[in-house]
Amino acid sequence: MLGTTLILALRSIRRHLLRSFLTILGIVIGVGAVVTMVTLGKATTAAVQQQISALGSNILQIRPGQGFGRGGGGPQPPNFKPEDVEAIANQIAGVTAVAPQASASATAIYEGANWSTTINGTTSAFLTVQPWPLVSGRYWTPAEQEAGKAVCLIGNTVRQNLFRGGDPIGARIRLGNVSCDVIGALSTRGQGGFGDQDDVVVMPIKTVQRRFTGNRDVRLMLVGVDTDYQTSNVQSAITDLLRERRHITGARDDDFNIFDTKQISDTLTGTTTLLTRIVAAVAAISLVVGGIGIMNIMLVSVTERTREIGIRLAIGAVAREVLLQFLVEAVALSCLGGIIGLVIAQGVILALVPLMQVPWTFDPQINIIAFAISAVIGVVFGYFPARRAAALNPIDALRHE
């Protein structure tokens, strides 16, 4: 019985193909929009988490000032000193390593090729706090770090622009007026929240301080936190220590800021997830509109086929069979719209993923849920027309013109 009813429903849809397509257009748009929005939202969340994870997990970033800039038009807060780095490493429980950083900008030159890049001076603790594997070469030795040797590790962007993909190990490049021996090539990290992470030359911090900045200032500290400790407790202890060392007393505001990469990741993930849900909810309104369209066209169909319904009832069909016929037709229409919407959604996702530079992922859960909702809409909005058809009086239906 159900199979025969489904065949009759498909024949009816095929008989009025254009009308059927226009009927399910709302379902197509609704399913396609919801699946596209949710899938791209999850892909964006994954991309954000990937970029944040590139900064490292369980890491506190400490900078002078109350934000990333000076802020408020006041004087520039003093930078940190090497003694501050040692104090945090030695006096704060739960700290695994502290990597100081001093930065400068320069033009890297090698055999006629040149590239403007950032020079990042740090210590070997940087590789403990924020591991960065090499594709070739080696890291500097403790002796080279202590002596402030002019050795460097180059990021992939610098390597591509200076060496055109060739092997840079052992080459001598010039950074401004300083010659530097390339001892290692860093693996690719890609784009991060603050730009191209591979556009960098990493050197011992003493080299950068002596040859580029001309002072002992530390502009940034990366603090690795033991997983057995709460980062909030470690952050509070570091705040108290730095306030003491920088002579900040009473109610005076801190002249430094501490960012917890995990908190940043959680905040951004929560924000993108919330926005995805809001957009998906707005897109889901199209499903309701599509359901109304199905109900409307099914009512028209009942009116058009009143004589057919009368004949069926007159030759022995019961009301529930008529109800089932029209209900199956409504569900078939809605499911067909759901399938078309899913196909269109995957095409749109494949087209947008490269433009948005986010990873493509197929989420079977949202696809199944969207299709199930389309079927439910067919049942809900198709029941009233089907009930109306089943309630027709056979004699009145046969007299209908």
Indicate the residue among 219, 254, 289 that finishes a domain: 254
Mean of pLDDT values over 20-30: 84
User: Which range, 120-124, 162-166, 395-399, has the best average confidence (pLDDT)?
Assistant: 120-124
User: Which range, 12-16, 156-160, 379-383, has the best average confidence (pLDDT)?
Assistant: 156-160
pLDDT confidence bin for 122, thresholds 50/70/90: very high
User: Which range, 184-188, 363-367, 391-395, has the best average confidence (pLDDT)?
Assistant: 184-188
Per the domain annotation, does 156 fall within a domain? Answer: yes
Report the distance separating Cα 154 and Cα 59, nearest Å: 23
Cβ density class 317-330: b for 16+ within 10 Å, e for less: eeeeebbbbbbbbb
Range of the domain at 129: 78-254
Is residue 241's pLDDT more than 70? yes
Nearest to 290 by CA among 377, 369, 348, 385: 377
pLDDT confidence bin for 74, thresholds 50/70/90: low
Mean of pLDDT values over 199-224: 92
Global pTM value: 0.61
Per the domain annotation, does 169 fall within a domain? Answer: yes
Residues 108 and 147 placed together within one structural domain of the fold: yes
- Residue 87 or residue 12, greater confidence: 87
Residues 245 and 292 placed together within one structural domain of the fold: no
Mean of pLDDT values over 317-346: 85
Lowest average pLDDT, out of 50-59, 147-156, 249-258, 336-345, goes to 50-59
Report the distance separating Cα 253 and Cα 249, nearest Å: 9
- Residue 386 or residue 269, greater confidence: 386
Lowest average pLDDT, out of 64-78, 209-223, 335-349, goes to 64-78
Residues 235 and 296 placed together within one structural domain of the fold: no
Cβ distance 169 to 183 under 8 Å? Answer: yes
Residues 101 and 235 placed together within one structural domain of the fold: yes
Mean of pLDDT values over 330-351: 90
Q: What is the pLDDT of residue 284?
A: 75
Is residue 273's pLDDT more than 50? yes
Q: What is the pLDDT of residue 70?
A: 45
**Residue range 302-326, pLDDT digits in tens:** 777 777 777 777 777 777 777 877 8
CB atoms within 10 A of CB 74: 10
Lowest average pLDDT, out of 44-58, 165-179, 306-320, 385-399, goes to 44-58
Q: What is the DSSP string of 371-399?
A: HHHHHHHHHHHHHHHHHHHHT--HHHHHH
Mean of pLDDT values over 182-188: 92
Mean of pLDDT values over 231-255: 89
Q: Give percent above pLDDT 70 in the chain.
A: 90
Q: What is the pLDDT of residue 98?
A: 93
Is residue 158's pLDDT more than 80? yes
Q: What is the pLDDT of residue 239?
A: 92
Residues 192 and 305 placed together within one structural domain of the fold: no
Per the domain annotation, does 72 fall within a domain? Answer: no
Q: What is the pLDDT of residue 203?
A: 95
Per the domain annotation, does 67 fall within a domain? Answer: no
Is residue 250's pLDDT more than 80? yes
Q: Give percent above pLDDT 90 in the chain.
A: 34
Per the domain annotation, does 64 fall within a domain? Answer: no
pLDDT confidence bin for 51, thresholds 50/70/90: low
Per the domain annotation, does 62 fall within a domain? Answer: no
Is residue 338's pLDDT more than 70? yes
Residues 157 and 112 placed together within one structural domain of the fold: yes
Per the domain annotation, does 173 fall within a domain? Answer: yes
Q: How many domains does the chain have?
A: 2
Mean of pLDDT values over 112-140: 90
For β-strands 113-122 and 191-192, DSSP reports them as: unpaired
- Residue 330 or residue 139, greater confidence: 139
E strand or H helix at 118, and its extent? strand 113-122
Residues 237 and 280 placed together within one structural domain of the fold: no
Report the distance separating Cα 369 and Cα 354, nearest Å: 26
Which residue has 């109304």 as its token pair?
292
Mean of pLDDT values over 257-272: 77
pLDDT confidence bin for 276, thresholds 50/70/90: confident
Cβ distance 99 to 235 under 8 Å? Answer: no
Residues 228 and 302 placed together within one structural domain of the fold: no
Residues 250 and 101 placed together within one structural domain of the fold: yes
Q: What is the pLDDT of residue 179?
A: 93
Torsion 32-33-39-44 (CA) sign: positive
Mean of pLDDT values over 150-176: 91
Indicate the residue among 207, 227, 254 that finishes a domain: 254
Q: What is the pLDDT of residue 340?
A: 92
Residues 245 and 273 placed together within one structural domain of the fold: no
Mean of pLDDT values over 121-139: 89
Residues 103 and 241 placed together within one structural domain of the fold: yes
Indicate the residue among 254, 280, 297 that finishes a domain: 254
Q: What is the pLDDT of residue 71?
A: 45
Per the domain annotation, does 57 fall within a domain? Answer: no
